[in-house]
Chain A
């Protein structure tokens, strides 16, 4: 039983690390801000969840378990709110998503 929990938590920790790393690579690879938000939310949702669930399996029935659940719930709520706030602030400040920029360039070319 102990071994099964260990193996499960290893799988979860490995999976979480993989998704976090994928998100960070996406943060560097994607071309503009609004695409990068999606890569960031990758690390915030499944990456963080899998790592914390992997830790929960190791915690056992101690006080660490509800604390980890608390961290998980809070990081999910705060992650969505922060992404939304960043996207909205960026749009308000005049930063435009890529497809609109392409549309404008096309229109300008037609006017020329």
Chain B
């Protein structure tokens, strides 16, 4: 049962990657990468039960934190980058 959930999560991550490659806008890609990250957290949590390794949950917590911070960081980076190019265009 855990194996099935893990396989589905891998399929979801694959579909998210397709969207990340297709785009078309920058924000579609960020959204797809965000989905990829949150599903990674779930996959690590499922792997914990699949392999019987109780320390995987700590990794999942850390991954959730890093994923959130990286998405916010990337968004802010592009926000500032676009503001700067707009100012230069003026």
Contacts and interface: CB of A to CB of B under 8 A. Distances in A.
**Contact between chain A and chain B defined by CB under 8 Å:** yes
Contacts, number: 130
Given A33-B25, A48-B38, A25 B49 contact: no
A75 B31 contact: no
Interface residues of A, number: 47
Does more than half of chain B's interface fall in helix, strand or loop, or is it mixed?
Answer: helix
Nearest to A12: B5
Interface in A64-112: 64, 67-68, 70-71, 74-75, 78-79, 81-82, 85-86, 89-90, 92-93, 95
Interface of B: 1-2, 4-5, 8-9, 11-12, 15-16, 18-19, 22, 25-28, 30-32, 34-35, 38-39, 41-42, 45-46, 48-49, 54, 57-58, 60-61, 64-65, 67-68, 71-72, 75, 78-79, 82
Interface of A: 9-10, 13-14, 16-17, 20-21, 23-25, 27-28, 33, 36-37, 40, 43-44, 47-48, 51-52, 54-55, 58-59, 62-64, 67-68, 70-71, 74-75, 78-79, 81-82, 85-86, 89-90, 92-93, 95
